[in-house]
């Protein structure tokens, strides 16, 4: 079945343009596409691969096609490794290429790139930027060409990319489903027509796709000859400085993208409109300094920065009496056409030639409560789960998983060792010990040893926050909110899934279902209702119920319950007895817990310490949660 044609995609003009520019100049560093599910992210990438094959005149079998990287791929599978079969069988030192070699000349697509291991993302980005892969490991010294268009797609609700990895992607585009009824109708009609007759539907757009492929090929032919004048280069440098981006990568990406956009227009010189398009694609994701920062680029600020960046440089202290051209730099904002270009997006933003239709920004959530804004976010002390788990790779608690360091070897039949992968050296030693004497080494099934690795895992961190009247004093609630946000940021950095439960009045509420997105969590915590009685038992029971549900989905991910409370329980009959029973039920689920004592009164009642005892958990005073105050990490009781 033919892929959905690139020209048949409705809307998403900025997404399509970003993909086309990366196809014209892969050195841009690829594109990251972020958006909710069902927004044609994968459809656009597969359509681009077909265009690229046509533009290069190659079949996908020749390399210029689409190579998809599965999330479970290992580093050897990605970059290649020693061919053990040929080494053991023929004694030949041979190299077996990986997926990056197959992607040469085509598109390397990583769906849910935010769930890929960080070290693999680093490898992909290095290869995309350099166009080659260099391997120096396991007695291998090898290099091969890998010029491909790297495209990663992700749903932010499933977790964010680390900022240092986000910056490595050349371009980033946020996509959302249109809220316009006519546009949504057109999307449905197009998709149903494709599903009814894929070949016939593709044929309807064959000419349009062929024209796009021709334009890609033509742009590739001239891109190396496009001139970037000094005044526009100055504009790029001034623009990146104005937006206070880190390092020089942003300047280089904007310059490369502007050159590619000029080639896409068929021009031989970069102009301001090319720089504007490049800035819209290359700068938004580089402005985030914190996981709670908003995405995007303010267009008014971009207009002002472009105008300022295009101003003449300061006069030389000893200028030439008659410099070339009258000593004046070209002011690209002086013409009416250029002034109008800052009021709306330039026409080349739409690769199909239609009027651009920018989706309306989704409504923002409530702003922080002005009566009790969260206190300043800080670096928190490490809260860990005791023992050794086997959960998803992360940076919190000790675990045996595939990304840890090798600490031992285990027999292949030992299923309880938590081993991952082959321990080559131990396998060869085992074969040598049982060798009959002189002659070639022969490996048998009994000689295989697996590597026992120990690293770190991410946990399910459940914040249970007391939002009752006992905690509702302005300063106290601000401190609790700030501490919760600080713990959330720590959980984001340690690759945890997080959930937030608040309790007040007579019940507990799941404010945030388990997610890996600190940004979404921060928005949910920006404001929540406070006051009323303190149903502590309901908060603990809600945490237990959430743990039971999540065990069905991911049994290996161990939970850590962080309770932020002053320990009071005032709701319902026998509140203290009910909270004691609820704590016992939570402990019975095997959940590790930490109690953050939020009591701030001069006379301390010690109720939070009593709760910690019932949970078998360590207790941390709110003011001692800062990492600056600790000498060693907090560890829960076994």
Find out whether 398 and 387 touch, Cβ atoms under 8 Å. Answer: yes
User: Helix, strand, or coil here: 581?
Assistant: helix
Residue 330 burial (CB count, 10 A): 13
Q: What does the alpha-carbon distance between residue 597 and residue 595 come to, in Å, rounded to a whole number? A: 6
Farthest CA pair distance, the chain = 93
- Within 8 A by CB and 6+ apart from 445, the residues are 412
Residue 83 burial (CB count, 10 A): 16
- What contacts 24+ positions apart, CB below 8 Å, involve 549-556? 550/460, 550/514, 554/391, 554/392, 554/460, 556/389, 556/390, 556/391, 556/392
Q: What does the alpha-carbon distance between residue 162 and residue 411 come to, in Å, rounded to a whole number? A: 36
Residue among 461, 458, 452, 489 nearest 393 (CA): 458
Assign residue 255 a region (left: φ > 0; alpha: ψ between -120 and 50; beta: otherwise).
Answer: alpha
Q: What share of the chain is helix, strand, coil (3-state, %, to 5)?
A: 45, 20, 40
Q: What does the alpha-carbon distance between residue 458 and residue 363 come to, in Å, rounded to a whole number? A: 31
Q: First vs last Cα of the chain: how many Å apart?
A: 56
Residue 71 burial (CB count, 10 A): 12
Q: What does the alpha-carbon distance between residue 514 and residue 453 come to, in Å, rounded to a whole number? A: 28
Residue among 174, 493, 501 nearest 361 (CA): 174
Q: If you search the block for the tokens 């920065």, which residue do you land on?
A: 305
Q: List beta partners, residue 564.
A: 465, 596
Which are the catalytic amino acids? 249
């Amino acid at each position: 079945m033919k892929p959905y044609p690139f020209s048949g995609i409705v809307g998403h003009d900025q997404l399509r343009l970003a993909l086309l520019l990366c196809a014209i100049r892969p050195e841009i560093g690829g594109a990251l596409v972020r958006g909710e599910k069902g927004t044609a992210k994968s459809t656009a990438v597969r359509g681009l691969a077909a265009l690229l094959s046509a533009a290069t005149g190659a079949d996908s079998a020749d390399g210029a096609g689409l190579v998809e990287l599965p999330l479970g791929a290992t580093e050897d599978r990605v970059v290649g490794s020693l061919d053990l079969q040929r080494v053991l069988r023929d004694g030949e030192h041979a190299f077996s290429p990986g997926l990056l070699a197959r992607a040469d000349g085509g598109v390397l697509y990583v769906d849910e790139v935010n769930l890929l291991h960080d070290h693999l993302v680093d490898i992909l980005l290095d290869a995309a930027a350099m166009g080659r892969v260099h391997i120096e490991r396991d007695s291998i010294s090898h290099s091969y060409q890998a010029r491909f268009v790297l495209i990663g797609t992700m749903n932010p609700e499933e977790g964010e990319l680390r900022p240092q990895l986000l910056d490595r992607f050349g371009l980033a585009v946020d996509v959302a489903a249109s809220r316009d009824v006519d546009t949504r109708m057109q999307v449905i009609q197009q998709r149903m027509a494709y599903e009814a007759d894929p070949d016939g539907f593709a044929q309807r757009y064959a000419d349009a796709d062929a024209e796009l492929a021709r334009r890609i090929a033509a742009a590739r032919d001239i891109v190396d000859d496009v001139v970037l004048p000094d005044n526009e280069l100055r504009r790029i440098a001034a623009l990146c400085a104005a937006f206070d981006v880190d390092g020089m990568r942003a300047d280089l990406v904007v310059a490369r993208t502007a050159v590619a956009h000029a080639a896409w227009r068929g021009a031989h010189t970069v102009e301001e409109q090319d720089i504007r398009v490049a800035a819209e694609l290359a700068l938004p994701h580089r402005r985030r300094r914190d996981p709670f920062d908003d995405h995007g680029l303010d267009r008014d600020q971009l207009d002002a920065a472009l105008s300022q960046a295009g101003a003449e440089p300061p006069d030389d202290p000893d200028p030439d009496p008659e410099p070339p051209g009258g000593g004046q730099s070209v002011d690209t904002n002086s013409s009416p056409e250029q002034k109008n270009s800052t009021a709306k997006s330039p026409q080349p933003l739409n690769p199909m030639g239609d009027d651009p239709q920018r989706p309306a920004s989704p409504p923002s959530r409530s702003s922080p409560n002005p009566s009790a804004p969260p206190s300043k976010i800080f670096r928190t002390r490490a809260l860990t789960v005791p023992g050794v788990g086997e959960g998803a790779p992360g940076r919190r608690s000790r675990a045996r998983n595939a990304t840890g360091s090798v600490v031992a070897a285990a027999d292949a039949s030992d299923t309880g060792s938590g081993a991952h992968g082959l321990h080559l050296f131990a396998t060869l030693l085992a074969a040598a010990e049982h060798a009959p004497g002189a002659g070639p080494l022969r490996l048998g099934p009994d000689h295989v040893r697996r590597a026992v690795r120990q690293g770190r895992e991410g946990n399910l961190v459940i914040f249970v926050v007391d939002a009752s009247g006992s905690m509702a004093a302005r300063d106290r609630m601000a401190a609790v909110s700030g501490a919760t946000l600080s713990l959330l940021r720590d959980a984001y950095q340690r690759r945890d899934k997080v959930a937030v439960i608040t309790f007040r009045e007579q019940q507990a509420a799941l404010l945030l279902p388990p997610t890996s997105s600190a940004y979404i969590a921060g928005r949910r915590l920006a404001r929540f209702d406070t006051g009323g009685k303190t149903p502590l038992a309901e908060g603990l029971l809600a945490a237990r119920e959430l743990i039971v549900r999540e065990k069905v989905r991911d049994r290996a991910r161990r939970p850590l319950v962080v309770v932020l409370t002053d320990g009071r329980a005032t709701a319902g009959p026998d509140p203290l007895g009910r909270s004691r029973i609820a704590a016992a039920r939570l402990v019975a689920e095997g959940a590790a817990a930490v109690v953050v004592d939020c009591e701030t009164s001069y006379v301390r009642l010690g109720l939070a310490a009593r709760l910690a005892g019932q949970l078998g958990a360590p207790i941390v005073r709110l003011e001692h949660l800062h990492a600056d105050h600790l000498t060693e990490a907090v560890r829960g009781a076994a």
